Chain A
Amino acid sequence: MQRHLISAADLTRDDAVLILDTAEEMARVADRPIKKLPTLRGRTVVNLFFEDSTRTRISFEAAEKRLSADVINFTAKGSSVSKGESLKDTAQTLEAMGVDAVVIRHGASGAPYRLATSGWIDAAVINAGDGTHQHPTQALLDAFTMRRRLVGRDTGLGRDLAGKRITIVGDVLHSRVARSNVELLHTLGADVTLVAPPTLLPVGVPSWPCEISYDLDSTLPKSDAVMMLRVQRERMNAAFFPTEREYARRYGLDADRMAKMPEHAIVMHPGPMVRGMEITAEVADSPRCTAVEQVSNGVSIRMAVLYLLLGGAAFDAKAAPEAANGLVDTHPRTEEK
């Protein structure tokens, strides 16, 4: 039984399908007049947010409350963290108050992994986004949304995304969403293509289990889902691309481009959207865009993860990966399943 959820790469295909199936169960709770389960009554979950993220924090909080957990919200701003307290001390302080799980959002890649593996605390750790590393519950809710739309709500149960063609477009370099999605979608059997200007792809990307393209137009007709990533305007100041207009022209999704996608294909966005940059308002507001649906699916997925990690049901992911121990026996942290 896995105790933490740090990276989408830690999930086997069966783990991921179990989470998606459980999330479907959880989604039914949302349809009830009283949207609450007693599963985590008496358990305490802290949302430890070192980075502002209202939407992710609220999504976790809704999930925790629907499972009847006691919820503590901790934001770094104005706390002792801004006075120089370390992550270790903060975490130990919270654990001393009897916390069962820590949902952590941190600006530094690897902070949740450190928290889970350094012996600082015993609580379960759920990564709610770390730097430009991982955001596993986002990838799970994206996969959940794809399975519902592309396979079917009921017919999808027990199934993965084998053969589905997923295109992810935008600032891959700075995106934990892209990293998590590439890992998870590959695990679930989908064929992933990343589309971005070469400046916004990591140097090591050829080793990822996906295809790379610099040309959006030729990729769209071969896509069952197109996921647009947010592109921050500040990036152009660091010469990642010349201007906002040029980015939108080459990599933005407008109605003309959307028309090149197959009839059944969906447009996804993890939010927050920068309308006029990577996506036009027309596309964002079209029925093919699942951005709002993704938000409600996020609550179901997070309920499922909390339930499976804390509720006692075994979900049999591989144990936390060990660090490579030298030249010879290196264990890549993200082995292919």
Chain B
Amino acid sequence: MSKTLIRGAKVLGGEPQDVLIDGETIEAVGTGLTDEGVEVVEADGKVLLPGLVDLHTHLREPGREDSETVLTGTRAAARGGYTAVFAMANTFPVADTAGVVEQVWRLGREHGYCDVQPIGAVTVGLEGRKLAELGAMHESAAGVTVFSDDGKCVDDAVIMRRALEYVKAFGGVIAQHAQEPRLTEGAQMNEGVVSSELGLRGWPAVAEESIIARDVLLAEHVGSRVHICHLSTAGSVEIVRWAKSRGIDVTAEVTPHHLLLTDELVRSYNPVYKVNPPLRTERDVMALREALADGTIDIVATDHAPHPHEDKDCEWAAAAMGMVGLETALSVVQQTMVDTGLLDWAGVADRMSFTPARIGRAGGHGRPVSAGEPANLTLVDTAYRGQVDPAGFASRSRNTPYEGRELPGRVTHTWLRGTATLVDGKLA
């Protein structure tokens, strides 16, 4: 396999260095590395990050290939700078058996744009009643370690307790979609000032916070670890902060859209802003940014949720919930966290690569950019400014809330184990 020299890259935002890739591995990091007989990529001051890892992606295959497939989703991931994505279990059939998770894992391997690590369902059919065969999924070729009924909350306290206990045997983690179902029946948007004016049924913050409070206490009681998906309220931040101060083994993620957008946008009744959990208030957004900066929230995860056009081109109540996010995530994080001075690029590498890989036990990902490590890398032109044009997306779906919005930064190159999946912004 040939060698590639990335010349003059700001590794994790530091001083420009050269990075030499040999085969699947980083051979050397330093200055003035020889370019003899190697392919050279002039980084020219761009920022080099470890390949991004998304702990929360919906690839829709099997079952909803009209909105996304493993191929189109992993191509979108490569465009966004990701080298590994965790695929959520709410497919058709549900990823609640070893057979389904192995199929998804294998498709990711075959396409080669991005490693796909399937997430297994916690309960059979996501129905919240009976534990799925968590051990079998862990022992399958897919090696599942993250389990989630995402899209639905594991709301039965006994089932949640048992799941938390059970996965301790093999180092698994339950990723909870925190949404108390009775408090959110028919809910359409964040409950507050805007919902009261728009006449859309409210989705109270307490529906999320009460489940998080219960689950961190359950995790403490049984000595297990728990991960909170797409945390969206200031109150949730306080609960997680309290839990961590008590030594509870809890981790939490925030989506890019909850770092930027607020429920004021729902005044347009445009379902492109309809998402679960819903867009909250500016106060929540600011609390989430602070929490991501101080480490209370551990990671950014996209909750990339593709939907076909017709599911958004309708009245609000009839529309599907969710937004695509893989191809805009890093730009939104740059705008909300880096350009605001809350996080440096080393911090971004931590929140979007090192820590998600650690939570999900994604071997070979989220490693330092240093000699001997797997060459999973992302090169970012942080000086770039441009409008989001969904027509250029690799995702099969276009349901982005950022159409026409100017966002900073652009991923120009992605390498998966030394092989370029994205070159000069074009998929390889």
**A114 & B194 in contact (Cβ 8 Å cutoff):** no
Interface check A88, CB cutoff 8 A: yes
**B315 & A87 in contact (Cβ 8 Å cutoff):** yes
Residues from chain B with Cβ under 8 Å of A107 in the complex: 317
Interface check A34, CB cutoff 8 A: no
Given A134-B199, A203-B196, A324 and B265 contact (CB-CB distance below 8 Å): yes
Partner of B199, one of A86, A109, A117, A324: A109
**Which of A58-66, A229-237, A242-250, A328-336 faces chain B?**
A328-336
Residues from chain A with Cβ under 8 Å of B197 in the complex: 179, 204, 207-208, 333-334
Q: How large is the interface on B (under 10, 10 to 19, 20 to 34, 35 or more residues)?
A: 20 to 34
Residues from chain B with Cβ under 8 Å of A176 in the complex: 199
Residues from chain A with Cβ under 8 Å of B125 in the complex: none
Give a binary string over A92-113; 1 marks a CB under 8 Å from any B CB, 0 the rest.
0000000000000011111101
Name A285-337 residues within 8 Å CB distance of B. Answer: 321-327, 330, 332-334
Could you tell me the distance in whole angstroms from the C-beta of B77 to the nearest C-beta in chain A?
26
Partner of B282, one of A106, A203, A327: A327
Residues from chain B with Cβ under 8 Å of A133 in the complex: 198-200
Residues from chain B with Cβ under 8 Å of A113 in the complex: 269
Interface check A219, CB cutoff 8 A: no
Residues from chain B with Cβ under 8 Å of A203 in the complex: 191-192, 195-196, 202, 204
Interface of A is mostly: loop
A325→B282 CA distance, assembly (Å): 13
Residues from chain A with Cβ under 8 Å of B204 in the complex: 203
**B195 & A204 in contact (Cβ 8 Å cutoff):** yes
**B267 & A323 in contact (Cβ 8 Å cutoff):** yes
Interface check B261, CB cutoff 8 A: yes
Interface check A271, CB cutoff 8 A: no
Partner of A110, one of B192, B200, B282, B405: B200
Interface check A202, CB cutoff 8 A: yes
Residues from chain A with Cβ under 8 Å of B113 in the complex: none
A334→B262 CA distance, assembly (Å): 17
Could you tell me the distance in whole angstroms from the C-beta of B371 to the nearest C-beta in chain A?
42
Interface check B313, CB cutoff 8 A: yes
A207→B281 CA distance, assembly (Å): 14
Interface check B318, CB cutoff 8 A: yes
Name B287-322 residues within 8 Å CB distance of A. Answer: 310, 313-318
Name A193-224 residues within 8 Å CB distance of B. Answer: 202-205, 207-208
Interface check B245, CB cutoff 8 A: no
**B285 & A327 in contact (Cβ 8 Å cutoff):** yes
Residues from chain B with Cβ under 8 Å of A207 in the complex: 193, 196-197
Could you tell me the distance in whole angstroms from the C-beta of A108 to the nearest C-beta in chain B?
4
Interface check A130, CB cutoff 8 A: yes
Partner of A332, one of B195, B201, B267: B267
Interface check A276, CB cutoff 8 A: no
Partner of A87, one of B202, B285, B314: B314
Residues from chain B with Cβ under 8 Å of A134 in the complex: 199
A334→B200 CA distance, assembly (Å): 15
Interface check A280, CB cutoff 8 A: no
Beta-carbon nearest neighbor of B314 in chain A: A86
Interface check A270, CB cutoff 8 A: no
Beta-carbon nearest neighbor of B404 in chain A: A325
Residues from chain A with Cβ under 8 Å of B199 in the complex: 109-110, 130-134, 176, 179
Given A110-B269, A332-B267, A208 and B262 contact (CB-CB distance below 8 Å): no
A114→B262 CA distance, assembly (Å): 19
A296→B195 CA distance, assembly (Å): 33
**B315 & A114 in contact (Cβ 8 Å cutoff):** yes
Give a binary string over B199-211; 1 marks a CB under 8 Å from any A CB, 0 the rest.
1111010000000
A130→B269 CA distance, assembly (Å): 12
Interface check B264, CB cutoff 8 A: yes
Beta-carbon nearest neighbor of A9 in chain B: B197
Given A133-B198, A134-B199, A334-B197, A323 and B270 contact (CB-CB distance below 8 Å): yes
A281→B310 CA distance, assembly (Å): 49
Residues from chain A with Cβ under 8 Å of B188 in the complex: 109
A208→B201 CA distance, assembly (Å): 17
A113→B315 CA distance, assembly (Å): 9
Residues of B within 8 A of A (CB): 188, 191-202, 204, 260-262, 264-265, 267-270, 282, 285, 310, 313-318, 405
5 A-B pairs closest in CB distance: A204-B196, A323-B268, A133-B199, A110-B269, A202-B196
Q: What are 28 contact pairs spanning A and B, CB under 8 A? A: A86-B314, A108-B318, A109-B198, A109-B199, A109-B269, A109-B316, A110-B316, A110-B317, A111-B315, A111-B317, A113-B269, A117-B269, A131-B199, A131-B200, A132-B201, A133-B198, A133-B199, A133-B200, A179-B199, A202-B195, A203-B196, A203-B202, A204-B191, A208-B197, A323-B268, A326-B260, A333-B197, A333-B267
User: Given contacts A323-B270, A326-B405, A327-B262, could you give 20 more A-B pairs where the C-beta distance is less than 8 Å?
Assistant: A86-B314, A86-B318, A88-B314, A106-B315, A108-B317, A109-B199, A110-B315, A111-B317, A114-B315, A114-B316, A134-B199, A202-B202, A203-B196, A207-B193, A207-B197, A322-B268, A324-B264, A327-B285, A332-B264, A333-B267
